[in-house]
Amino acid sequence: MELKNNLLNNIRYVILLLVFVIGIITAYFYIGVQTNNDSLSNTSPCFNDAWQEREHNFTQKNTSEYYINRGLDHLKCLEYQMSIDEFNKSINVSGDDSKKYDWLLTSNFYIGFINFEIGNLEESLKYYSTAIEYSGNSTVRPKWELYRNKATVLAKLSKYNEAISDYTKAIELNPNLWKLYKERSDAYTALDMLDEAVLDLEMSEKIKRSN
């Protein structure tokens, strides 16, 4: 009788232990699923569709590259603040990444671009300038493009002398793009430097015709 009672007690103990283990596994799974759902619940269907197609490509999450791609998908959906938030996360986790400067340049470039699009010109200028600082250690974007974007912001801010300086740097790096001469011509015109403006317009037309 005593042996039977001990056996029943052991069985009850094993059953309780199994129920406890199953409960822990179920709770862990639920929390994991809920966390994934929560990460999407505050986003738009546009982003959710784009991200669900892309997410399976990442075996290592919470990296700079991971956040940059989330930022790009938000940008495609015109979710500017969410996009900026993701690019900032990329910057914050870039420290030990072997492609650190690529991610830093890319994140700063896109934050500069977004701020320009929404009219935050001073912020745009700051981030484009930072992107240029990283361009010596990264070639993910051509340096002339960075100078051109920064010059465009400077021109919008009516800082025409500084804009001309950056357009000139862009032209030195890419002398065969006619648009650069046209844009620098506009900056010269704003300063009533008409001789320089005409020369740039002529060069712009010459390059355009040759292409």
- Convert the pLDDT of each residue in 103-125 to its tens digit: 999 999 999 999 999 999 999 99
Q: Where are the alpha helices (DSSP H) in 77-159?
A: 80-92, 100-117, 121-134, 143-156
Q: Where are the domains of the chain?
A: 1-42, 45-210
Best CATH choice for the domain 45-210 from the list 3.40.50.2300, 1.25.40.10, 3.30.70.100, 2.40.110.10: 1.25.40.10
184 alpha-carbon distance from chain centroid? 28
The CA distance from 101 to 91, in Å, is: 10
Q: Which residue has the tokens 């030195």?
A: 172
In angstroms, the Cα distances linking 196 to 97, 177, 201 are 46, 17, 9
Is there a contact between 64 and 93 (Cβ–Cβ < 8 Å)? yes
The CA distance from 39 to 55, in Å, is: 12
> Does residue 60 sit in helix, strand or coil?
coil
CA angle 86, 122, 200 (to 5 degrees): 110
Is there a contact between 121 and 156 (Cβ–Cβ < 8 Å)? yes
The CA distance from 68 to 65, in Å, is: 5
> Does residue 155 sit in helix, strand or coil?
helix
Helix 143-156 to helix 100-117 angle (10° resolution) is 30
Q: pLDDT at position 31, please? A: 42
Q: pLDDT at position 32, please? A: 43
Q: pLDDT at position 50, please? A: 81
Residue type, 160: Y
The CA distance from 36 to 9, in Å, is: 41
pLDDT values of the chain reduced to their tens digit, one per residue, 211 residues: 554 455 555 566 656 556 555 656 554 444 444 444 434 446 688 988 888 878 777 878 899 999 999 999 999 999 999 999 999 999 999 998 899 999 999 999 999 999 999 999 999 999 999 999 999 999 999 999 999 999 999 999 999 999 999 999 999 999 999 999 999 999 999 999 999 999 999 999 999 999 8
CA angle 103, 170, 142 (to 5 degrees): 30
